[in-house]
Amino acid sequence: MEKSALQIARAAYQPKLPAALKGAVKAQEGAATQSVGNQEEIKALFPNTYGMPVVEFVSADSENNEAINVGIILSGGQAPGGHNVISGLYDGVKSLNRNSKLYGFLMGPGGLVDHKYVEFTDELIDEYRNTGGFDIIGSGRTKLEKESQFESGIAILRELGIKALVIIGGDDSNTNACVLAEYYAAKKYGVQVIGCPKTIDGDLKNEQIETSFGFDTACKTYSELIGNIQRDCNSARKYWHFIKLMGRSASHIALECALETQPNICLISEEVEKKEMSLDDVVTYIARIVADRAADGNNFGTVLIPEGLIEFIPAIKKLIQQLNEVLTDPATGESREFGCADEQIAFVKGNIAPENLAILESLPADVARQLCLDRDPHGNVQVSLIETEKLLSRMVAGKLAVWKQEGKYNGKFSAQHHFFGYEGRCAAPSNYDADYCYSLGYNASRLIANGKTGYMSVIKNTTAPAAEWIAGGVPITMMMNIERRNGANKPVIRKALVELDGAPFKFFAAHREEWAKQTAYVYPGPIQYWGPTEVCDQCTKTLALEQAK
């Protein structure tokens, strides 16, 4: 593999570890746990993995150093640092016993089901240390939820002598990991399953998980790009830049990027829903700021938009919920099949409530068509494909034109559009993510050595220097509740949305009027790997505010 000078230098970086993982460890167990919701239902579904204690690793005189074979899966969308989770796990199992082996299943959970894998070697691991992406073994979105899949998986695990499986993924992937752990425990197959919290969206966090890996790097990458646009914006002074950012189910990315770059406008989906704003309310809010800046002679600005915004507008949210129901076959739980797009749209219009049909028909034709058609593997609307940034700028332009006719606005409005998504998912990890991910992987090896299954690898206290980080594990069932998915009630890990009474949002809300009126842009620049700690090793502003640091 041809390497850049940065890759060569970066490969030599040795990620920092919590002091607790730098020698022999033992698991210190806390009290029994329960799920965050629907306790009786979750307990009934997971009788073998429910109620286990949170564990924290502390120093020990010795530890289990038997050779063990471990498998690992990258599941779902990419996130910076995945390769370091793998290298941390590899180094961790090898530190226990050099005869331990690590196998990677190719292209996600489907590799386990289809028996496609590779054995990691020192040479292969060294090629990918501190690099972005998931290309070492690839990722996929196959859902592990059927008994036939579990049985196919156990066949290859037995063939390779694998005693533990680590699944790196987001909330859906780790829900699947929990289901798999329960199945193997119930069958007494002797295979442990451990999860690792991954998603750039930042919505896999709770009292035990401070942040999901990749969020730090992705936000810093997007913030560099936003800063570059804002510098251009402040130079040309003639465009409004509408910038859509990844984050379908939560607005953590948009909020963090706003905290880092101080744009004129940042929409937070959770606030739009809380205030029960209509699409017109959102458009009016943006247009008012555009008009106020124009009155000061500033016909330019930046708007940050979470990709899932449209799903949080209450009327449209109700529409989407019913669309998800009617487009799911109740007999199979899978998406209904149609001969053509027009047939699908006609079916939708004939099977949704009149008030939802009215909302659908009030939307621009291209948006309405998008809502009726493409679904993701989980049966949900693919909101990332809806060009919300263009929809909003088009509607803002229309409102400003009306105001101009009424003599309420005398500025100029010209829009540019951007969507930052893939640009951040495979970026080379920041020092924070490089260290955090390596620690998550190394920590997973200790959860395995201590016989744990159905646990998530967790590293806490990450606003402190890495030596002071706390390593341990939390039962995945502790994070679960029952939600409506594809027309059925299912156990899932609860997503963490932006908390409107939380410190990060409160800080943003206290400053947004100032940022709207003034041109108070911040230009973060690219991620730095070498230099002063205050430049290179900082966590996100979100995490610092949450931890009051």
Under the banding of pLDDT at 50, 70 and 90, the label for residue 505 is very high
pLDDT of residue 248: 84
**Is a pLDDT exceeding 80 seen at residue 380?**
no
Q: What is the pLDDT of residues 106-116, one digit of tens each?
A: 999 999 999 99
**Is a pLDDT exceeding 80 seen at residue 260?**
yes
Q: Which of 91, 171, 172, 201 is catalytic?
A: 201
* Higher pLDDT, residue 419 or 324: 419
Average pLDDT over residues 198-226: 97
Q: Please give the Cα distance from 337 to 488 (Å, whole number).
A: 18
Q: Please give the Cα distance from 44 to 41 (Å, whole number).
A: 5
pTM of the complete model beyond 0.75? yes
Under the banding of pLDDT at 50, 70 and 90, the label for residue 485 is confident
388-405 helix and 279-295 helix, angle to the nearest 10 degrees: 60
**Is a pLDDT exceeding 70 seen at residue 188?**
yes
**Is a pLDDT exceeding 80 seen at residue 104?**
yes
- pLDDT over 90 percentage in the chain: 87
Q: Which two tokens stand for residue 162?
A: 């694998």
Q: Alpha helix locations (H) across 472-521?
A: 503-517
Under the banding of pLDDT at 50, 70 and 90, the label for residue 329 is confident
**Is a pLDDT exceeding 70 seen at residue 317?**
yes
Given a contact cutoff of 8 angstroms between Cβ atoms, the answer to whether 393 and 242 are in contact is yes
Under the banding of pLDDT at 50, 70 and 90, the label for residue 150 is very high
**Is a pLDDT exceeding 70 seen at residue 264?**
yes
**Is a pLDDT exceeding 70 seen at residue 235?**
yes
Delineate the domains of the chain, giving CATH numbers in brackets. 25-214+429-485 (3.40.50.450), 215-425+501-546 (3.40.50.460)
pLDDT of residue 76: 95
Q: Note if 114 is an active site residue.
A: no
pLDDT of residue 364: 82
119 has which bridge partners? 103
* Average pLDDT of the chain, as a whole number: 95
pLDDT of residue 486: 67
DSSP H or E segment with residue 438: helix 431-449
Polymer length in residues for the chain: 549
pLDDT of residue 228: 98
Given a contact cutoff of 8 angstroms between Cβ atoms, the answer to whether 55 and 449 are in contact is no
pLDDT of residue 385: 78
pLDDT of residue 378: 60
Under the banding of pLDDT at 50, 70 and 90, the label for residue 129 is very high
Q: Please give the Cα distance from 217 to 221 (Å, whole number).
A: 6
Average pLDDT over residues 31-56: 97
Q: Please give the Cα distance from 399 to 547 (Å, whole number).
A: 41
**Is a pLDDT exceeding 90 seen at residue 1?**
no
Average pLDDT over residues 443-464: 97
Q: Please give the Cα distance from 307 to 316 (Å, whole number).
A: 14
pLDDT of residue 379: 63
Please report, for residues 23, 90, 194, 273, 461, the alpha-carbon distance to residue 95 in angstroms, rounded to integers and kept in the order given.
Answer: 10, 9, 19, 49, 24
pLDDT of residue 377: 61
Q: Please give the Cα distance from 424 to 219 (Å, whole number).
A: 7
